[in-house]
Amino acid sequence: MIFSDLEIISPILKAIKEQGYEAPTPIQAKAIPTLLEGNDLLGSAQTGTGKTAAFTIPLLQQLYISKSKKKKKGRRVVKALIISPTRELALQINENISNYSKYTGAKSVVIFGGINQRKQTSALQNGADILVATPGRLLDLIGQGYIRLNHINYFVLDEADQMLDMGFIHDINKIIAKLPEKRQSLFFSATMPETVIELSNQILNNPKRIRIAPKQTTAERVAQSLYYVSKAEKASLLKHLIDENIGVSILVFSRTKHGADKIVKSLDKSNIKSEAIHGNKSQNARQKTLQRFKKSKFSVLVATDIAARGIDVTKLSLVINYDLPNVAETYVHRIGRTGRAQESGEAITFCSSGEKGYLDDIQKLINQKIPVISDHPFHNQKEADAPKGKKHKKPENRSKNKSSKSKNARKKPSTLKGKFKKKPGKKSNFKGSFKRKKRNE
Ligand code: AMP
Q: Where along the chain do its domains lie?
A: 3-211, 222-385
- Tell me which residue of 28, 131, 414, 391 sits closest to 245, measured CA to CA: 414
Q: Which residues pair with 106 in a beta bridge?
A: none
**Could you give the 3-state DSSP secondary structure of residue 284?**
helix
Q: In 3D, which of 375, 371, 253 has the Cα closest to residue 319? A: 253
Radius of gyration over every alpha carbon of the chain, rounded to an integer in angstroms: 23
Architecture of domain 3-211: 3-Layer(aba) Sandwich (3.40)
Mean pLDDT of all residues in 180-202: 91
CA-CA distance, 138 to 110, in Å (whole number)?
Answer: 10
Check for a shared fold between 3-211 and 222-385. yes
Separation of CA 20 and ligand 1 centre (Å): 10
**In 179-312, which ranges are continuous DSSP H helix?**
194-203, 215-221, 234-244, 257-269, 283-294, 305-308
Residue 313 CA, ligand 1 centroid: distance in Å: 11
Cα 27 to ligand 1 centroid, rounded to whole Å:
10
> 247 Cβ partners below 8 Å, 6+ apart?
299
Query: Which pLDDT score is estimated for 409?
Result: 36
Rounded CA gap, 215 and 203, in Å?
23
Phi, then psi, of 65 in degrees rounded to 5: -65, -45
Other residues' Cβ atoms within 10 Å of the Cβ of residue 267: 20
Q: Ligand 1 atom closest to Cα of 28?
A: 19
3-state secondary structure of 250: strand
**Residues whose CB is less than 8 angstroms from the CB of residue 230 and which lie 6 or more positions away in sequence, other chains included:** 352, 353, 378, 380, 382, 383, 397, 401, 402, 403
Look at 42 and 385; give whichever has higher pLDDT.
42
Query: What pLDDT shows up at residue 316?
Result: 81
What average pLDDT does the structure give for the chain?
A: 84
pLDDT digits (tens, 9 = 90+) for 334-384: 888 887 655 668 999 999 989 999 999 999 988 889 999 998 889 888 788
251: β partners = 301, 319
Atom of ligand 1 nearest to the CA of 310: 4
Substitution site in 340, 342, 343 for ligand 1 pocket (most atoms within 8 Å of beta carbon): 340
Residue 401 clears pLDDT 90, i.e. is over it: no
The whole-number pLDDT of residue 67 equals 80
Confidence of residue 134 (pLDDT cuts 50, 70, 90): very high
- pLDDT for 135-189, tens place per residue? 999 999 999 999 999 999 999 999 998 899 888 999 999 999 999 999 999 999 9
The pLDDT, as a whole number, for residue 385 is 84
* Cα–Cα distance, 409 to 78 (Å, whole number): 60
DSSP 24: -
Closest CA to 263 of 285, 241, 234: 234
- DSSP letter (8 states) at residue 402: P
Instruction: Determine contact, residues 161/196, Cβ cutoff 8 Å.
Output: yes
Whether residue 104 has pLDDT greater than 60: yes
* Distance of CA 275 from the midpoint of ligand 1 (Å): 26
pLDDT at residue 88 greater than cutoff 70: yes
CA end-to-end span of the chain: 42
Q: Ligand 1 site: residues with CB under 6 angstroms?
A: 21, 24-25, 28, 47-53, 312, 314, 340-341
Domain 222-385 fold is Rossmann fold (3.40.50)
